[in-house]
Chain A
Amino acid sequence: MRYQAIYFITLFGMAFYSMVDTASAQIRIAKPAGEKIGVSLNGLSVEPGPAADLFIATLRDNIERSGWLTVAGSGRADVAVSGSVNQRRNDVRAEIRALGVHNQQNYLRQAYRHPADDVRRLAHQVVDDLVYAVTGHRGIATTRIIFVGQEGRNRELFMMDADGGNFEQWTRDGSVSVRPRWGPTPDKVTYTSYINHFPDVFLIDLRSGNRTAVAEYSGLNSGGVLSPSGNEMAVILSKDGNPELYVKDLKSGRLTRLTHTLQANEASPSWSPDGRHIVYVSDQAGPPHLYIISRQGGPPRRLTTRGNENVAPDWGPNGLIAFASRVGRQYHLVVMDPEGNEVYRFSDRGDASYEDPSWAPNGRHIVLGRRENFRSQIYIIDTLGDPPVRLTPSEGEWLSPAWSPHQP
């Protein structure tokens, strides 16, 4: 794959590297961009067996995917992991210690116990604990990604771990599902489904498996996304005669209409991290562009001016907005601050387009659909420069991924 990433200001890169966590006395390890912290696993004693083997393989893989760490030989390691991994009946037990090679800092000393048939999740947890202990950043190994897959003529929801494992189909509706999005907690997802023959917005509670319609008005219901408080939902409705942006209070059911553009389309709202603003798509000036409006309503502010069109915004936990920007016939991934300064652009030197980006909760990685020759696959892009990684099987049509928040 040929691609190019352009950083516009160093501030963006530097922000990630303020590594000393003032909240704790622990000394973190900091490296300049492009250099990773070497972790040696040579001191880990593993009792061979299928579960322990899978644990170690997943541990190595997830360390590489973390962005901050890499598995290194003892001579080049900054952190030495030691301890033991073994299986007792149906459980895997792990004792993990992590010691700074140069500073003798005791980063991690933790005992784990987890069902052997779910040992990948145990490895995810160990990697996230290691990443946090060493760098002060919360890891992404325990997060999940929900997305849409083509099933014949229909489109269903699927889910996987952030490393592509535990791949599972979530709906079997024989219907169309469109662009799922996570709520503020990893147990809530909203999406648009035609299961009742019209485009309605549903809220899924992943713990109970319950699914309830939260917008089923006449006409179009789409783009539903929960506010950071979880009490409200931004949504596109056409019940009053034209697709417009509304906010629905989920307790009272009360609707507030935010846009009044009878000559234009609105689509794809996304909340600011503080819940006070919403970025969305509108074609009121001709081609689709991004606008920001207050939760209270009032005049919107146009955010984007460059590109043939700008669509599918995702306002990340880092305060930055990722979206797809069409240049010619290609869509680029663009990251912009709310003042309209472009801080990052990722594009393909070939024909591929990048669609429907969604921030990881670490504010560094982005999951998106990569479309080439009219076929879409799901990839992770690292805004700090690690190469793109494909998550979905090469067969099939996979699109519109959304990255979960952290586990509480």
Chain B
Amino acid sequence: MVVLVAVAMVTQVTGCQRRRASGAGADGVSPVRGMPADQVYGQGLGPRFGMDGRQVEGQFQAVLFGFDSSQIVDTERAKLEDVARHMRRNPNARLIVEGHCDERGSREYNLSLGERRALAARAYLIGLGITGDRIQTRSYGSERPVAFGHHEEAWRQNRRAEFVIVQ
């Protein structure tokens, strides 16, 4: 219990943007295991879609991120594999990955951080064989929380990537 309290205090102080967002810091760890960081963030986006067409939200579980990280951690990989399976079975389906942050920190900086989370998830899906042109990104930064409240549990749920299928 004492340990839990200490962890909560540390995370409260450090916030969404404490460390290098990519996770590709001094330790050289890429946000997507097995893919160099430069490749994750070196793949340009295709023409925009999703302004119209039928959009389905909430079909997949949100991928969660550590504070100030856009790293896809091992426990979240199965969620992305679900998304990739759907995309393979539905070759006409397209996908918007939405990146979100918790409420702490500069709103404009959080827009960039949320975008890097969405781009990391996109790179992971490309690594699973989904064509990049089928995947757009949309960062909401800290503008669209899913959990309200000003505590670590809410912040944990808000640091996420969501998946919107465009038919």
Contacts and interface: CB of A to CB of B under 8 A. Distances in A.
Interface in A213-228: 216-220, 222-223
B111 to A, nearest CB: 5
B18 A287 contact: yes
Interface stretch (B43-51, B59-67, B74-82, B86-94): B43-51
Contact of B103 (A153, A216, A267, A374): A374
Contacts of B37: 262-263
A263 B106 contact: no
B13 to A, nearest CB: 5
Given A220-B137, A283-B20, A283-B21, A239 B112 contact: no
A200 to B, nearest CB: 10
A161 interface: no
B41 A262 contact: yes
Contact of B22 (A178, A264, A355): A264
Residue with the highest number of chain A CB atoms closer than 10 Å, among B21, B113, B144: B21
Contacts of A356: 106-107
Which size bracket describes the interface of B in this complex?
A: 35 or more
B12 interface: yes
A240 interface: yes
Contacts of A308: 18
Given A220-B115, A283-B21, A288-B17, A240 B109 contact: no
A contacts with B: majority SS: loop
A232 to B, nearest CB: 19
Given A262-B41, A263-B41, A178 B108 contact: yes
Contacts of B46: 218
Contacts of A268: 106, 108-109
A311 B106 contact: yes
B38 A262 contact: yes
B114 to A, nearest CB: 8
A74 interface: no
Contacts of A267: 106, 108-109, 111-112
A243 B12 contact: no
A179 B107 CA distance: 8
A374 B115 contact: no
B22 A219 contact: no
Contacts of B45: 217-219, 238-241
Nearest to A200: B48
Given A262-B37, A267-B106, A176 B119 contact: no
Contact of A311 (B18, B48, B103, B105): B105
A312 interface: yes
B158 to A, nearest CB: 13
Residue with the highest number of chain B CB atoms closer than 10 Å, among A153, A281, A326: A326
Interface in A17-39: none
B71 interface: no
A197 B106 contact: no
A329 interface: yes
B48 A218 contact: yes
A208 to B, nearest CB: 25
Interface in B141-156: 141, 143-144, 150
Contact of A287 (B17, B48, B141): B17
Contact of B25 (A179, A220, A241, A286): A286
Given A217-B48, A218-B136, 20 more contacts: A176-B140, A178-B108, A178-B111, A198-B50, A217-B45, A218-B137, A220-B111, A220-B112, A222-B108, A239-B45, A240-B42, A240-B44, A241-B44, A263-B24, A265-B22, A265-B109, A265-B116, A267-B108, A287-B17, A374-B150
11 contacts: A194-B143, A197-B50, A217-B48, A219-B136, A219-B139, A238-B45, A262-B38, A263-B24, A263-B41, A265-B116, A267-B111
